[in-house]
Amino acid sequence: MEELTNIIQSDQDELMSSIDEFQADILKTFLKNTSNDYLTSADNWLNATTANTAKFGGEQGKAKIYRDKLLEELEKFLCGAEQYEEDRKKIAESSDKSQQYIIGVMSAAIGKTIGAAGTFIAPVIVLLILSLGKMALNAWCEMRKETKKQVTLPKKT
């Protein structure tokens, strides 16, 4: 889907403009304090704002687990999992191709799956997309498959 490929290729300023200004300002501070480490900044967001969603967060130190779950769901969304087919169709059929709309649809769909508000996870979705770099979407999906295979292969003794 061209819209998802385009969003992966977006630069930091473009993606930051897809979330509320106050959220973008907080993310920019996190990024400055972490030397532009997108994943650590995502963890900082999750730790700093876990009170916003009781079911999803609340325990300090669990941010990486939440971030990994979000990354797993983002992978499903971007790489074509059936559970997100209707959401991808909504993006494809909409006349609104803005990044704000696309991030909003993605965040709402993923938030519904994991039990978190879309507005809470939208900044993390932006950071996770930025962490992909400029890698082509198909290449990233294939890399994720290979990484999972390596993790699940039994160790030879």
pLDDT in tens, 44-61: 998 875 444 444 444 556
pLDDT at 8: 85
Q: Give pLDDT < 50 ranges for the chain.
A: 50-58
- Axis crossing angle, helix 118-131 with helix 21-33, rounded to the nearest 10: 40
Q: What is the pTM of this model?
A: 0.82
